[in-house]
Amino acid sequence: MALRPHLLCLALPLTLLAVSPAFADEGEWVPPVRHAETLKECGECHMAFQPALLPAGSWRAIMGNLSDHFGEDASLPAATAASIEHYLVAGAGRGDPALLRITEQRWWRHEHDFSPSRFTRPEVRSKINCAACHKGADQGFYEDD
Amino acid sequence: MKKISPLLLLFLICAAVPASAAGNEAARKDILDGYAAAAGPGFAGFSAERGRPLFLGPHAGGKPETPACATCHTPDPRAVGHHYRTGRDIPPMAVSQTPDRFTSLAEVEKRFGRDCPAVLGRDCTPLEKGDFITYLSGQ
């Protein structure tokens, strides 16, 4: 029996919520984002960062203050924000929950211990453009350093 | 990973039900009709001529880094824009280049709700929203 497409549309995001192991690793690979709302809404302004790149406390703080998202208004309807927060927290990694920026986490600073001028190159522009250097960043690959 | 990719594909198909050009046109008209109804008694139609300077700016009152829509979207609505802080690509605003622009009221309201305060320092009026969409629908 074929499943009706609209049932799959509903079931799939729920299934995908369950497949992200909650570990942040030593900087090589993290499970890629497989949640449509996260990809769309976060990805509108920057790469949709993988859940494992921040601890749960950081994700909760970020999602609780979208109207001032590092100086930008990133407000979302409450239901959308809740869905994204649930996904991010479910796949959260390790780190200091008092630090909200991935680039402030100790592991990140350790991995990027080089001249700040690298980040101001035109093709990089900002520390949050992971993919400028890590070509597979949007798929969770960061081992190419 | 391999196991979920057919499901993911299905989801993408579900999420991106291809709307026909006529469907896009109808959806834009619905949104414009809503803004027309909200524009008040003196309303005499939307104007691409008013929408153009709204897009190009520069305006005062918003964030100093974003004095115009064109700051991120470039002065050419048919061009790919870039987020002013992250550099992230923004698909062209012109309907000729991005046919499904202004076809979701929720999406349109989300963007006006964020970007009007950032550029103008206030919310946009229904008339301004309709003028803006009318200008970019002809681009």
Name the nearest CA neighbour of A51 among A81, A28, A31, A75: A31
Domain-embedded: residue A17:
no
Cross-chain residue pair A45–B8, CB shorter than 8 Å: no
pLDDT of residue A123: 84
For residues B111-127, give the mean pLDDT: 97
Q: Which domain holds residue A126?
A: 31-139
For residue A84, CA distances in Å to A36, A62, A136, B62, B69 come to: 9, 11, 22, 29, 27
- What Cα–Cα distance (Å) separates residue B113 from each residue in A124, B29, B105, B118, B125? 29, 20, 12, 9, 11
* pLDDT tens per residue across span A72-102: 999 999 999 999 999 999 999 999 999 999 9
Residues A126-131 have a mean pLDDT of 90
CB neighbourhood size of A43 (10 A): 14
* pLDDT score of B21: 87
3-class SS of residue B118: helix
**What's the CATH fold of domain B22-137?**
Cytochrome Bc1 Complex; Chain D, domain 2 (1.10.760)
- Predicted confidence at residue A13, as pLDDT, reads 45
Question: Please, which residues bridge with residue A141 across strands?
Answer: A29
Lowest mean per-residue pLDDT among A31-35, A56-60, A131-135, B121-125: A131-135
Give the tens place of pLDDT for each residue, B80-103: 999 999 999 999 999 999 999 999
Confidence band, pLDDT 50/70/90 cuts, at residue B14: very low
DSSP 8-state code for residue B2: G
Please name the helix (run of DSSP H) or strand (run of DSSP E) that holds residue B82, with its range, or none. strand B81-82
Estimate the share of chain B in helix, then strand, then coil, as percent rounded to the nearest 5: 55, 5, 45
Average of pLDDT values for A101-130? Answer: 91
What residue of B is the nearest CA neighbor of A45? Answer: B88
Chain A CB contacts of B117 below 8 Å: 73
End-to-end Cα separation, chain A, in angstroms = 48
Q: What is the pLDDT of residues A3-22, one digit of tens each?
A: 444 544 444 444 444 433 43
Q: Give yes or no for a contact between B130 and B46, defined as CB atoms under 8 angstroms apart.
A: yes
> Which helix H or strand E contains B90, and what residues bound it?
strand B89-90
**Contact check, Cβ <8 Å, A129/B86:** yes
pLDDT score of A1 more than 50: no
Q: Compute φ and ψ for B96, nearest 5 degrees.
A: -60, -30
Residue A34 C-alpha, separation from nearest chain B C-alpha, in angstroms: 8
Q: What is the DSSP string of A64-132?
A: TTGGGBTTB-----HHHHHHHHHHHHHT-B-S-TT--SGGGSHHHHHHT-S-GGGGGSTTT-STT-GGG
Question: pLDDT tens digit string along A24-73?
Answer: 445 589 999 999 999 999 999 999 999 999 999 999 999 999 999 999 99
The 3-state DSSP class for residue A29 equals strand
A13 contacts in B (CB within 8 Å)?
Answer: 11
Q: Are A111 and A25 in contact (CB under 8 A)?
A: no
Distance CA B120, CA B67 (A): 7
Taking Cα atoms as reference points, which of A47, A61, A51, A43 lies closest to residue A24? A51
Q: What distance in Å separates the CA atoms of residue A59 and residue A22, rounded to the nearest whole number?
A: 13
pLDDT of residue B28: 98
Q: Per DSSP, what are the bridge partners of residue B89?
A: B82
Q: How many domains does chain A have?
A: 1
Mean pLDDT across chain B: 90
Lowest mean pLDDT among A130-134, B53-57, B135-139: A130-134
Q: Which two tokens stand for residue B23?
A: 């469907």
A23 pLDDT higher than 60 = no
